[in-house]
Chain A
Amino acid sequence: MAIIGEKIELRVIQPEPPHKQEDLPGRVDLFAKAPWLARLVKLRSFPAMLIIPNLIMFWIFLLAGIFGSPVGSRNIMIVFIWILWWFALIAVLVPFGSRLWCTMCPLPFFGDWVQRHAVVTVRKGNSAGTRNQLFGRLQVWPKKLSNIWAQNIGFLCLASFSAHLVTRPMATVIMLGSLIVIAAGLGILYRQRVFCNYVCPVSGFLSLYSMTSTLELRSRDKNVCKKCTTKSCAAGSDKGWACPWIIYMGQLERNNYCGMCMECVKSCPNDNISLFWRPFCSDKVLKGYDEIWKAFIMLVLAMSYSVVLLGPWGKLKDLANVAEVGNWRGFFAYLSVLWFSALIALPAVYYVAIRLGRALAARRMKAGQEGSIPSMKDLFIRYGYTLVPLGLMAWLAFSVPLIMVSWAYIVSVISDPMGRGWNLFGTANFPWSPYHPDWIGYIQIPLLMMGLYYALIRGHELALKLWGDNRRAVLSLIPLAVLLTAITIAFMRMFTG
């Protein structure tokens, strides 16, 4: 408690964070609890043992996309990628596994191979600031592009053609084929995982929503990292490659740019890196405009997909599906609204809410305290985190009907992956039967409520840190809380009709 003037104010004391990860609230050291898991990820063949089967599946899907049925629901590529994989990513992998998809993703395989000339073994050396021998041009990615703006725009571009992508196998073949070629090309020219860090559109969204995940890869004790002289996690060693995501584990405090390749687990000379289980939404710091715009884009896309793909408005669906309907003027109108909403309208409304909140909280300041008012930039970026749990839950709510209505396609397409009349496992004629469609709304509403709950709770924690006392923190959040609640209600109304 501190006395300011004549009023007694509740001051928030911010202690130094503990240097041991296990001392943070709710952390469980999974490698300590399950030593077999540590042994598994320390194998040099990990994660190749996941990537190679995934790569084979990827090629099978590409072949199915090229030579299989052009009807989306009869082609394993469309059904497995846009229904099964997408749902698994949103509902399981991201919330409970952070960026585990990146651990096994086949897209950077060829780029990695070009740089390492190896799939399993590691090579000691002295290339490009690392302690490994690397090959290729190994240039540093341009500083101006060292952010996630390219991923933001890339995802928005893909989303603009989503109606086409999710129904036409050849469109998905072209998209995925292009990504693997770009990933390999960038791997030849630039050092480490440039494609994953700055270009891959999926990586951008994984980066944002992995902040909510209940899994993290961290150093066990930051003091051990401080005392480390080799910094092998970042520089590499004869035991592991230098972090391909170019992060330093000694100060890692958020999941965004950790692709969980586990090289640092192998290279750490102190056995100081572990997987930790943790509470939902533990990372709370957005650091740049590129990151908060990612949150705007994802929230607008969740809304637009829900309206276009799930809503009852057939005309809107026609506008988005230009390839089938051929209404280019309507398509450009749809694109204009989509891009304007994601890049300008939502950020503008959010800005007004933050500005209002700042003015409300600043009114409670005494003369002479103006210097302690957080800057608009700080508030704009930091409060942006509230859009992260809200956005993830909106995407999950959107994906629930996708799997509950279309799950039967997965069963039938396993037996007839190319849509050519095969019946490999006797399930090709499995009838289309939505799974309890009457339950969908009852699942979506609690999900959206949970997103709002975490947005407000974590928003309050951030506000306390920024403003220092509870009253100002609450006042500063009021307009934003109104905006977030309005967005949640809009989603609820749309999902429940």
Chain B
Amino acid sequence: MSRSIRDLQPQAVLALAVAVESRNAERYATFAHLFSTYNDEASRLFDEMREEELAHRAVLLRLYRDRYGDQEYPIDEADVDEVVEAVDLDEAEHMVFNDITRRHVFEAALRAEQGARGFYASLTGTVQDPALLALYRQLAEYEEDHVAALEARMSLAGIESGGGNNGHHR
């Protein structure tokens, strides 16, 4: 990690956004595998989230190809300092207490999407370049759609966002 996303040009930003979705899909796959012996439902949900991320990646890749054709831009999220969107567990001890639930999975996904939305939105206030500004706005809108879709799915599943105990106690 050596540079800030603020130093990147539009092509690099979009290529990075594609890479971020790919990496997130990998993280979901890892969590699905890790929890496969603990909670089938949580594991399956992690796997569904992986597919969601691959769908997000496909949309962004289409956008990239529309603008830049097949010209690849070698960049990965490890190349920038910031965390754009990285799904993570809220707790180190979920396996110890065997307490992972679909709520934890949904909330992990929501935190990641909200983080990405906030991140892109915050960048819109820092750039002068109209092309970059438009791109950041577009990416923030994409992430806003992901947040809304996830919240709708949580609502369908009867889960209120932010309804957990924030890891204070079991």
Contact = CB atoms under 8 A, between A and B. Distances in A.
Contacts, number: 95
A249 B170 contact: no
Name the prevailing secondary structure of the A interface residues: loop
Interface stretch (A222-230, A344-352, A363-371, A479-487): A222-230
A191 interface: yes
Contact of B89 (A227, A229, A251, A253): A251
Interface stretch (A38-46, A70-78, A240-248, A301-309): A240-248
A128 interface: yes
Interface in A118-141: 128-130, 138, 140-141
Nearest to A466: B168
B94 to A, nearest CB: 7
Given A245-B96, A377-B169, A235 B33 contact: yes
B93 A247 contact: yes
A191 B37 contact: yes
Contact of A140 (B38, B89, B168): B38
A288 interface: yes
Interface in B27-76: 27, 30-31, 33-38
B30 A231 contact: yes
Nearest to A235: B34
Interface string B86-100: 101111111111110
B127 interface: no
Contacts of A147: 97, 170
A381 interface: yes
A395 to B, nearest CB: 24
Contacts of A377: 169
Contacts of A235: 30, 33-34
Contact of A146 (B31, B89, B91, B98): B98
Contacts of B35: 129
A227 B33 contact: no
A248 B169 contact: no
Contact of B77 (A146, A227, A256, A381): A227
A250 interface: yes
Contacts of B33: 129, 235
A160 interface: no
A149 B95 CA distance: 17
Contacts of A420: none
A412 interface: no
B123 to A, nearest CB: 17
Given A229-B23, A229-B26, A141 B86 contact: no
Interface string A247-281: 11111110011000000000000000000000000
Given A143-B98, A288-B170, A382-B168, A129 B86 contact: no
Nearest to A140: B37
B149 interface: no
Interface in B82-137: 83, 86, 88-99
A248 B89 contact: yes
B92 A250 contact: yes
Contacts of B86: 226-227
B86 to A, nearest CB: 4
Nearest to A290: B170
A378 B96 contact: no
Nearest to B88: A226
Nearest to B22: A229
B117 to A, nearest CB: 16
A295 to B, nearest CB: 14
A248 B88 CA distance: 10
Interface residues of A, number: 41
B92 A378 contact: no
Contacts of A210: none
B92 A247 contact: yes
B89 to A, nearest CB: 6
A311 B98 CA distance: 43
B96 A146 contact: yes
Nearest to B37: A129
A34 B77 CA distance: 30
Given A250-B89, A257-B93, A226 B83 contact: yes
A143 B168 CA distance: 19
B4 to A, nearest CB: 13
Contacts of B152: none
A137 to B, nearest CB: 12
Given A129-B34, A227-B83, A248 B92 contact: yes
Contacts of A410: none
Nearest to A257: B96
A287 interface: yes
Interface in A210-229: 223-229
Interface in B3-17: none
Nearest to B24: A229
A129 B38 contact: yes
B109 to A, nearest CB: 14
Which residue of B37, B83, B88, B93 has the most chain A CB atoms within 10 A of its CB atom?
B93
A197 interface: yes
B95 A234 contact: yes
Contact of A288 (B23, B30, B92, B169): B169
Given A191-B37, A227-B23, A229-B23, A251 B91 contact: yes
B148 interface: no
B78 interface: yes
Given A248-B94, A381-B168, 7 more contacts: A227-B77, A227-B78, A227-B86, A249-B92, A252-B92, A257-B96, A381-B169
Interface of A: 128-130, 138, 140-141, 143, 146-147, 191, 197, 223-231, 234-235, 245-253, 256-257, 285-288, 377-378, 381-382
29 contacts: A129-B34, A129-B35, A130-B34, A141-B98, A143-B98, A146-B97, A146-B99, A147-B97, A191-B37, A226-B83, A226-B86, A227-B78, A231-B27, A234-B95, A235-B33, A235-B34, A245-B96, A246-B96, A247-B95, A247-B96, A248-B95, A250-B92, A251-B89, A251-B90, A251-B91, A287-B168, A288-B169, A378-B168, A382-B168
